[in-house]
Chain A
Amino acid sequence: MSVRRVDQLLAGMVEGDAISQDALLMQAALRTLGFESDIFSDPERTDPRMADRCRPFATYRARPGDALVYHYGISSPVSEAHRRANTTKILRYHNVTPPDYFRGYDDALAHLLHRGREELAGLAAQSDAVWADSAFNSRDIPTGTCGIVRVFPLLFSPTRFERAPDATVFSRYGGPLRNILFVGRMVPNKRLEELILAFAWLQRKLDPFTRLVLAGSDRSCPRYYAMLRLLAAGIEMPHVCFEGFASEAGLVALYRQAQVFVTASDHEGYCLPLVEAMHNGVPVIAKAAGAMPETLGPAGVLYDGGSPEELASLMHLVLTDTKLRAEILAAQEQRMSAIRSRQPSTELQALLAELGLRP
């Protein structure tokens, strides 16, 4: 079937957000294939800096013969537009974080996530296909709800890192201290408290000339962020730096100044910062949880369980063992060659052809 338009629906558009980036890269690939393609999102959850890249979802008009991709990660009013659309429907599933992580910190958000998980089966059943970021995500789709469930990893654009680094951020993290970097939103499933405690052991017992830099939006769960700040202050760790949201130039600076990237996250549907760190030549340490083993592939360091002291020892090993660092970086570069050589338009063409859609 020949279609003219493949549009995309999002709950919100935010600069630096992995799902928003994915939608923009998909839009570029779809246009390359000859489709017309617009992005529609909830204006209340759209960053003003992204307003010119998308349109309000209320203005979306579905027409038979078109196709619609709904990026799903949380319950939102946008789901209703997807349900009503009389088109070929594709659910781009980015995972819904289990709500239990947020109880006590943000009960309203926990409720939205709970509803998001409840609605997943219905949305999958109403869709012609589900494209999941990872095999881990695809396992959330209840068996028999949708006939076509495919893994289509999150798209990554290396060009984001070709710009000059932010000079202020770059100089802030220069000097004799070695930087341990985390990039991601400050939300409870990321288990940043484990990183802070591990860093406390590292700094007090193994290497005082280190610094933990936590970069990412602090607005997603303010009470959790407040707890993290209180923890760092309570154990007197002045070298835990809360960098907050980083611009693209800021991210370039942070990756260039990092000696190791660490995440103790419990739940990730893909974890784009792992790819960003590998792309920027920073050795990665990640918990073997969620989709992170898939994203890293045969590269980087994966650990499972363990105390903060053990994680501190692991960070120290990767910081100081030059032979091991070289081996990790070589494996990561190989992994990145595979990721960088992906052809989004070719992959999309094949996925759409499976649904009988072509421009």
Chain B
Amino acid sequence: MRSLTINGQTRTGDVREKLLLQAERMRETSLPHAERAAAVLALGKMPNEQAFLAHYLSLLREDCSVRLDTLEPPCRPGVLGAAVGAVRKLLWRILRPHLELATWRQNAINADVMHALEFLRLASQAPQGWQDSSGLFAPAPDGPVSPSGPSAVAASAPEASRS
């Protein structure tokens, strides 16, 4: 932070210094998922919409499932906070099997939607009938389609669009 103004008064010398110190302490442990954040922010540096879409779908492919294992109930400091936190954790354990089932169903739907998006992207690249512009699904010398692309599922899309 280069400068800070509060109510029209420059507070760069005092308040800003305190903020910088606090930020420095926070940086001692990094935020989780920093790599993921960087990969998503790279979407802002794409040269055109085609590149954006390709990168966007690759990100979705990596992360289209819901995970429960990283979620932790928050806990306020102090004795009361610890007590309330303990109750929250107990409730979380009781509810978890039910949530696991709901999550499994949601993930199945997410995967299907993801595949549909892949099909649409491939179809949009081939306005006059499907052509393998990517080379990912080039026919093998003896003829049949070879699903050697990013996902074998996507390979069935051109089949559908040709028929």
Q: Known contacts A230-B59, A313-B19: does B36 contact A235 (CB below 8 Å)?
A: yes
Q: Which residue of A lies closest to B21 (CB)?
A: A313
B-contact 0/1 string along A178-198, CB 8 Å cutoff? 000000000010000100010
Tell me how far the C-beta of A189 lies from the nearest C-beta in chain B, rounded to whole angstroms: 11
Residue pair A310, B41 in contact (C-beta under 8 Å)? no
Find A209's partner among B20, B51, B60, B76 (CB 8 Å cutoff): B76
Q: In the complex, A14 Cα to B125 Cα: how many Å?
A: 34
Q: In the complex, A309 Cα to B39 Cα: how many Å?
A: 19
Q: In the complex, A200 Cα to B33 Cα: how many Å?
A: 11
The answer to whether the Cβ of B63 comes within 8 Å of any Cβ in the partner chain is: yes
Residue pair B74, A208 in contact (C-beta under 8 Å)? yes
Interface residues on A, range: 35 or more
The answer to whether the Cβ of A350 comes within 8 Å of any Cβ in the partner chain is: no
Stretch at the interface among B5-13, B91-99, B138-146, B150-158: B5-13
Contacts of A188 in B (CB 8 A): 44
Residue pair B33, A236 in contact (C-beta under 8 Å)? yes
Q: Which residue of B lies closest to A293 (CB)?
A: B5
The answer to whether the Cβ of B83 comes within 8 Å of any Cβ in the partner chain is: no
Q: Known contacts A235-B32, A306-B2, A309-B26: does B49 contact A104 (CB below 8 Å)?
A: yes
The answer to whether the Cβ of A160 comes within 8 Å of any Cβ in the partner chain is: no
The answer to whether the Cβ of B160 comes within 8 Å of any Cβ in the partner chain is: no
Q: In the complex, A201 Cα to B49 Cα: how many Å?
A: 31
Q: In the complex, A297 Cα to B6 Cα: how many Å?
A: 10
Residue pair B56, A205 in contact (C-beta under 8 Å)? no
Residue pair A104, B47 in contact (C-beta under 8 Å)? yes
The answer to whether the Cβ of B31 comes within 8 Å of any Cβ in the partner chain is: yes
Q: Known contacts A208-B74, A235-B31, A235-B32: does B7 contact A313 (CB below 8 Å)?
A: no
Tell me how far the C-beta of A111 lies from the nearest C-beta in chain B, rounded to whole angstroms: 12
Q: Which residue of B lies closest to A106 (CB)?
A: B49
Number of interface residues of B (CB under 8 A): 42
Stretch at the interface among A23-31, A78-86, A123-131, A324-332: A324-332
Q: In the complex, A223 Cα to B18 Cα: how many Å?
A: 37
The answer to whether the Cβ of A353 comes within 8 Å of any Cβ in the partner chain is: no
Find A302's partner among B5, B33, B75 (CB 8 Å cutoff): B5
Q: In the complex, A314 Cα to B46 Cα: how many Å?
A: 31
Q: Known contacts A107-B48, A209-B76: does B4 contact A301 (CB below 8 Å)?
A: yes
Q: In the complex, A303 Cα to B26 Cα: how many Å?
A: 19
Tell me how far the C-beta of A115 lies from the nearest C-beta in chain B, rounded to whole angstroms: 18
Q: In the complex, A238 Cα to B140 Cα: how many Å?
A: 46
Report which residue of A103, A298, A313 has the largest number of chain B beta carbons within 10 angstroms of its beta carbon: A313
Contacts of A223 in B (CB 8 A): 43, 49, 52, 56
Residue pair B4, A234 in contact (C-beta under 8 Å)? no
Residue pair B70, A236 in contact (C-beta under 8 Å)? yes
Chain B interfacial positions (CB closer than 8 Å to A): 1-8, 15, 18-20, 22-23, 26-27, 31-33, 36-37, 39-41, 43-49, 51-52, 56, 59-60, 63, 70-71, 74-76
Q: What 3 pairs across the A-B complex have the smallest Cβ distances?
A: A298-B8, A306-B1, A104-B46
In addition to A105-B52, A200-B37, A313-B18, 14 A-B residue pairs with Cβ atoms within 8 Å of each other are: A193-B44, A201-B26, A205-B26, A206-B26, A209-B76, A223-B43, A227-B43, A234-B37, A234-B63, A298-B7, A310-B23, A314-B19, A324-B6, A331-B7
Chain A interfacial positions (CB closer than 8 Å to B): 103-107, 188, 193, 197, 200-201, 204-206, 208-209, 223-224, 226-227, 230-231, 233-236, 288, 293, 297-307, 309-314, 316-317, 324, 327-328, 331
